[in-house]
Amino acid sequence: MNKISAVKAFAGEQIQYEHQSDTLNCTMKFSVFLPPQAQQHRVPAVYWLSGLTCTDDNFSTKAGAQRVAAELGIALIIPDTSPRGEDVPDDPDGAYDFGKGAGFYVNATQAPWSRHYQMYDYIVTELRELVERELPLSGERSISGHSMGGHGALVMALRNPGLYRSVSAFAPICHPTESPWGRKAFSGYLGDDKAARTDYDATLLIKERQAAPPLLVDQGTADNFLAEQLGTDALKQACIAAGIDAQVRMQEGYDHSYYFIASFIGEHLRFHAKHLSYFGKK
């Protein structure tokens, strides 16, 4: 881990690192907020997965999460959304919803994407093991995300029972096999493998597994992607049918932007804190 920058914030530290990823076969950047409690003892973490076109900078600079994270004694782990670098293939037409910035948190199986686009394994295994080895983290973790990152957070939590204490999402792509964004990404990264596509669809995973960790979803009613892309109601109905006590909240008048995230990020962090028994208090 190479430290690129560090600034003091709320008596803690906001840091950006880079490292060579063996999983993605490229150099990756990620950001971390360490609360002031981390100067005294190990702390739990919330992993944040960002949406289409974003990097780790978007959440770090726009969400305003550090104040509450410092209060609760929770670290924030903020990876990039996709592999980066000159050798990493990108959408040949320069589309924003495929290629760099649009990794969809899957393990690609199709050429030329499979060499680099292994974001699922990168988040679940490589990055987690790296930061928990090198930083003052307790090993207790929750996961959250926005849009494409909300999809990633839900899928990772559902597919790895016990790995994350809780999961939350803002405007997630809940049913990507029925979303134009999801169908495009899955077709390119996964080909015609229907089973693989099911493994990256939160709604289908809930129907199949009939279980989930503590789950909170916030969705704005003024989100211009809601009707065509996000599938929030499908997720809600799957949770009801499975008897899962998930909180799926429709927030009147909010859109898809970071203003929406900043409005409710404190509630999400406090939701996770309830399930992180360490709480930064030991």
Gap between the Cα atoms of 201 and 14, Å rounded: 33
255 is catalytic: no
Q: Peptide bond preceding 112: is omega within 30 degrees of 0, i.e. cis?
A: yes
CB within 8 Å of 67: residues ≥ 6 apart: 10, 266
Number of Cβ within 10 Å of residue 249's Cβ equals 14
Single-letter amino acid code for the residue at 205: L
226 strand-pairing partners: none
Strands 75-79 and 137-146, bridge-based pairing = unpaired
Q: Of these residues, 56, 199, 201, 223, which one is catalytic?
A: 223
Q: Of these residues, 151, 175, 256, 272, which one is catalytic?
A: 256
Is there a contact between 162 and 139 (Cβ–Cβ < 8 Å)?
A: no
Q: Of these residues, 147, 166, 168, 179, which one is catalytic?
A: 147
151 is catalytic: no
Gap between the Cα atoms of 20 and 138, Å rounded: 24
Gap between the Cα atoms of 216 and 188, Å rounded: 30
- Which residues have a catalytic role annotated? 147, 223, 256
